[in-house]
């Protein structure tokens, strides 16, 4: 029973940092799960993030479910997920109840500007930590660069409203990029004779 409580408490601590969404939680998840508790390796966590990105739901919630399930099956997955979601629900209800009364105050506006800057730094920190265990050779560098360019194009480019534009929008979809990168990695590994891709 202690591990279930530990899962709930650990992910609740992560869930308190809900500002900025799931991506802002990634460096905290990395520190808690890999460095402090050894519940996952860097490689496993990278896999959880990748799978969590292309499955429905928030990436941090999906990661909590995967880790809880790894440690204690379905019940562990439920405990970890509830732990992550519970503080978020409380914070969101408090903000929804009181923010309208204070949203226009300069101190609140400046506080949220500071939170946005912090979220950008947390996401960058997460990317840099993940890079060490995922972008390890020339093929993975090539996959990273191609996916980055397509993701940036998908977010910032304005494709024409025709068949070609629809195809480009589909190709730049996060789900398509994750699946295509995974298939490419498998092909590279197979070409190397089963070695690490």
Tokens of 138: 């020339």
According to the model, what pLDDT value does residue 21 have?
A: 64
According to the model, what pLDDT value does residue 61 have?
A: 87
The Cα 87–Cα 54 span in angstroms is 24
**How many other CB atoms are there within 10 angstroms of residue 1's CB atom?**
5
The Cα 191–Cα 137 span in angstroms is 14
According to the model, what pLDDT value does residue 22 have?
A: 65
Alpha-carbon separation of residue 31 from 42, 45, 70 (angstroms) = 10, 11, 18
Residues of the chain short of pLDDT 50, as ranges, are 196-197
Every domain of the chain and the residues it spans = 1-134, 135-197
According to the model, what pLDDT value does residue 80 have?
A: 94
According to the model, what pLDDT value does residue 197 have?
A: 44
**How many other CB atoms are there within 10 angstroms of residue 90's CB atom?**
14
């Amino acid at each position: 029973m202690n591990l279930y409580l530990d899962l709930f408490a650990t992910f609740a601590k992560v869930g308190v940092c809900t500002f900025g969404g799931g991506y802002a939680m990634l460096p905290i998840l990395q520190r808690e799960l890999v460095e402090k508790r050894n519940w996952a390796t860097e490689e496993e966590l990278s896999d959880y993030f990748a799978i969590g990105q292309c499955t429905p739901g928030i990436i941090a919630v999906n990661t909590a479910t995967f880790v809880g399930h790894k440690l204690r099956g379905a019940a562990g997955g439920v405990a970890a997920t509830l732990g992550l979601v519970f503080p978020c629900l409380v914070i969101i209800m408090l903000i929804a109840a009181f923010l309208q009364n204070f949203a226009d105050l300069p101190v609140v506006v400046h506080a949220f500007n500071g939170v946005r800057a912090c979220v950008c730094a947390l996401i960058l920190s997460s990317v840099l930590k993940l890079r060490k265990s995922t972008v390890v050779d020339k093929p993975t560098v090539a996959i990273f660069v191609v996916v980055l360019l397509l993701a940036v194009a998908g977010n910032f480019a304005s494709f024409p409203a025709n068949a070609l534009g629809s195809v480009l929008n589909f190709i730049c979809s996060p789900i398509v990029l994750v699946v295509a990168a995974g298939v490419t990695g498998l092909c590279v590994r197979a070409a190397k004779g089963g070695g690490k891709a």
